[in-house]
Structure 1
């Protein structure tokens, strides 16, 4: 009896223990699966968004960009994810119909609202930059241009984005931003170059290291820091390749000749009158061409200059240092770029031709005076200095002549009497007695 009871107790205990072990096993398997799935679950894309509206002269485009929120070295790889063309003309055409701007922008702004997650609307910056059309309108009627910008700003501000303002950008800014865009898309600003830039405008063998933060220290570039705060490297090394043609092609990108609101333009929409008469090229124009021995008018042809620059830019840096050791490295290293830039500016920017090239004179001095701005500045200042009363003689001309004749006669009479006394003194004393 006791054996049977003992057997039943053993069976009961065995079943309970097995049940507890089985349950624990199931719990363990479920926990492992849950942990595995949770740990390997794809993380949500942590990105930031930005919107830029390009308000051009004939139409407006809206662009949406995104970049990783976890930026390495404060650098985000920016990509365009959406482009929306606003139906209708440029915003400058709404001068007399400001109330229609809301409808004008609605479709593309609503598109942006759908593309960008709602949770990120309030932290997505929106910028509007107006270009040529609004620049012209501002020149004609600044008050009207301001009204349009205010209406645009009011319309965009009604959306849940972080509106940063609407402004008219200058032609120089438009060109600079375009240059950044081209070089960025071509990969010249990414961690793929390993911090090295190969520049055809410097001689082969030339190397220079510079801090990327130095780019924003110059007055001309400081204003771009807020717009383009990211820098691909803390430091970059420039290595020259010495190729005139490649250097020229890079420089030509600075001159925007795609738009001209006048009958003739130089570049960036600036009016260019017919090239007539003679032109004086001085200051840096002269110094660069003098170094290259191209200031002589007998050989001053653009073909001669191109040929000279092609040869000069291809010379190795070590060779230049050997032949021009007395020239400062800063100037010597930049003569290839400066000469190429001057030729590109004159030929492609100002449209000088082989025929009109002879009218350009590279001048350092004229009549022993240095050619530059200082003399002209002084000449201009003299027009602002009040003129003084002219100095006048103490006697009138007629009084002066009368007195001169009178005293001359007296002098002559005295001399004659003196001579007479000297030769015949006895006669004089006899008459006196």
Structure 2
């Protein structure tokens, strides 16, 4: 027993000071490790969400956007999280049954609910922007357009989101927000590079927008923006009735008016439709729009017969434009002022879909004309055989639509064979659809308060101070232990001597 007690007294690990030092050492090491882990663990990124409904002339699309709660240069970093195309036609088609316009959005809005975390629903803003289809309806029947919007508003107000309004946006807004989208997705704003122009083609209108230093004749010719701390002034113009679908109505109207027939059923030989194409159509399907002539042909139906002559097709397409009237230094068409084109352009929406189908997105202008001429002369039965999965409504119109796009860009917007290479036909950039909705959401985030992100438990300066203090205490304990061991070792040697 006495021997064991003597061994413990000679062994420094059994001394009380050493035990205290060891415990303190362990506590300090544990504190250092714990603080480092807690301070450097990944911070959960907070996101805010927004929903924009694009109520176009042919259909409605619902876009869900998200951006970090901590914004950059007072502009949220918005990305597209989810998209849904509403089944059926655009909301303007419900003008006879306005109360059905809102419920038509139900399926896509339920998808939006699933795409956004439930705790964020009440704070997520919802905006609906109606474009040229509703602009035309308002022009034709203001009461009907108001009833359609009311139905949409009542439905969206009943969703769990924060409804912020439904309105018919102007053509200038549509063009300008499309310009923001193209340049935002191309990262031109943050990199302070030259901006890219935007070319948008819908069913009922088309827009051209680009940054220009020219002095504008009309206040409607420009829009002012402030993004990422920089001012932007852009030229923008929207042509109502010159979207792809309405342009076709204009085109058919001109031909029907130019070739009246006697008592028999009218036959329209159309160079913009494939040879062998032969359909009986209702005159009312053309003259149900305020874009066309108020004077309708006397016949209720006509036979639409394709001839597939591209040269004559382009000649007839040019007739729906007025290229002779211009009171300014330079014009696009119909007497509308347009400054000289500048820089590259992103062409999206129907511009992309038509040119992509025709495989003309990367072809020079002259090559595009030759390929389009060959396509238009292809027999209709061969076209349907080669594209069985494409709906006939779209398939029958590609010859006209392609010709219309080439004519609009070259003769209307003044692109040449040399500047044609500056047009980039785009569908998506950085996994987001090109269109006006993202620009709209981006601009609106300037009005949404920023939310403080999750931060480390200790401020950086305090963290550094504590680390230094812990290291100092650790060093002190090591020195203290060393001194105690050295003293104990010397005492043991003296006892042995």
**TM-score between both structures, scaled by the size of structure 2:** 0.44
Which structure is higher in RCO with an 8 Å CA cutoff and minimum separation 6? 2
Q: Which has the higher strand share?
A: 2
**TM-score between both structures, scaled by the size of structure 1:** 0.50
Q: Which has the higher helix share?
A: 1
